Structure formats: C-alpha cells, structure tokens
Amino acid sequence: MKTGKTALITGATAGFGEACATRFAKEGYNLVITGRRADRLEAFKSQLEKEYGIQVKTLAFDVRDNNAVKTALHSLEDSWKSIDVLVNNAGLALDLSTIDEGNTDDWDTMIDTNVKGLLYVSRVVIPWMKERKQGQIVNIGSTAAKTVYAKGNVYCASKAAVDALSQGMRIDLLLYNIKVTAVHPGAAETEFSLVRFKGDENRAKDVYKGFTPLSAGDVADVVYYCCSLPSHVCINDLVLTPTAQANAYYIHR
C-alpha cells in the first residue's frame, strides 16, 4: 500500500531514525533519509526499496553545517519537496561531566547538532510545507528535556531547547496547518550510549543493565502513531519511557 506521502527523516543511519524510516516505509511512505554515513544510507535505501516497494532518496550531510544542509535539501527535485512529515531526529550526547569540567568541544557538538542542526533543517523544509498548507514536524526531544540529571547539564539543556523550539514552532505554524509534535523518549538501547561514551562498549551496555529499555522500534511506533491521526488532531508533546523509568534520572533496576 503506497500513500503517495513523503517523510524526511534525519539521522536515519541508526537507532530511532532508522527504525522510523522502516516504520514509515512499511506504511507506504516514500522517504528522504539523511545522515553523515553515506555508505549506510545507500545500503539502507536498497533494502527499503526492495522490501517495501517505495522510493527512497538519500542525502548525506552534517546537520551542523548550514550550507551543507541547504545545498543537500535544495538539490531535491521539486516533486521530492512535498514533504508530509519531517522527523528531526539527528542528535547525540557526548560524555557525562560536571559543568566545571565539561569539554567545550563536546558542548559545541551537542548544541550545534541537537539545536542548530534541527533549526537549519527545519528552516529549509518549513517553507515547502507552508506553501502546501500541510505537514507535520516531529522533533525528537528526550526525558532529558523535562528533567535534568547529574552531569547531563549541556545535553539536557540542548533537549530543553528542542522542547521550547517545538512550542515556538507550533505557535508560528498553526496558521499554515502544520502540526508540530515533540516526542520525548526515555532510555532506549541504540548507538546513543556508544556515541556518548566514545566507543566504550562496556560503559554503554551498563546503561541498560537491570531493566528492559525501549527499543528503537518502540519509539518509531509512537512517532508513526502521532503522524497517523486525523488532520484536526495534533499530539503536541509526548513522553514515553520504559516501564521501569519514572523520569530521566530515576530508573528502577
């Protein structure tokens, strides 16, 4: 079943983005998938097209680079600019450290990716949605947007910014019939902790010990659900956690 709709998903080379791409493909959406790892994007495109009979465009760029964002997105043929769903998912955390000891390069990377990258992509796609007076933006926040945890300072702040920007976008865009949904997942086992702990596999695994974390597929199901509602219904803000997690800093193990 093809819908004739198109979803653009950032950070589709792993984790939530990859799972969202699979879920939307299953539902018959054509896809624009992005990330920095071009080889993964190409392999994923072939797999999705073969398995689901949809059309996929790949765009490899770094969301922190505004010129690269603009060049890549504007390279799409006009027919691909009819984006029905934008999932602003690309993002990361780097390390855990107190504010007096934080690595300022890591701070730049988190803020540039999670906040500025989301803005750069949105700034290109929103006018396309505005022109068609339809569309939905799903911003991936975090429980870290809602509750700050020890040594999470800058990452939590970057996700609080995603929360605030989602509210701002919603106000600015309802005039154009564009839905804005913030989805805030709790602990989910993806490449997230491996990236946070810079390749330390044992440290990454420990994050999910003693409880059942969310899977990327769980998050993708929720994102798709938010995009499957009637046109007059918008989920503004949604927090999902593993059952063993109450908030960003309390997990029962």
For this structure, is 250 an active site residue?
no
**Token pair recorded at residue 82:** 């009819």
Residues 37-56 interacting with ligand NDP (rule: CB under 6 A) = 37
The interface with ligand NDP within residues 78-97 (CB under 6 A) comprises 89-92
Q: Where are the alpha helices (DSSP H) in the chain?
A: 15-26, 38-52, 66-74, 104-111, 118-132, 153-173, 192-196, 201-206, 216-226
Three-class DSSP category at 79: helix
Q: What character string, x for contact with ligand 8X3 (CB under 6 A) and - otherwise, covers 44-83? A: ----------------------------------------
Which has the closest alpha carbon to 222: 242, 251, 195? 242
DSSP assignment letter at 226? H
Query: What does 248 interact with, of ligand NDP, ligand 8X3, none (CB < 5 to 8 A by kind)?
Result: ligand 8X3
d(CA 186, CA 141): 10
Cβ proximity to ligand 8X3: between 128 and 155 the closer is 155
- The footprint of ligand 8X3 on residues 117-176 (CB under 6 A) is 142-144, 152, 155
Q: CB of 120 within 8 A of CB of 112?
A: no
Q: How far apart are CA 8 and CA 84, in angstroms?
A: 8
Nearer of residues 89 and 181 to ligand NDP, judged by Cβ: 89
Could you say which of 29, 52, 120, 155 is catalytic? Answer: 155
Query: Which residues here bind ligand NDP, judged by CB under 6 A?
Result: 11-17, 35-37, 62-64, 89-92, 113-114, 117, 140, 142, 185, 187-188, 190-192, 195
What positions carry a catalytic annotation? 155
Query: Which residues here bind ligand 8X3, judged by CB under 6 A?
Result: 93, 142-144, 152, 155, 187, 248
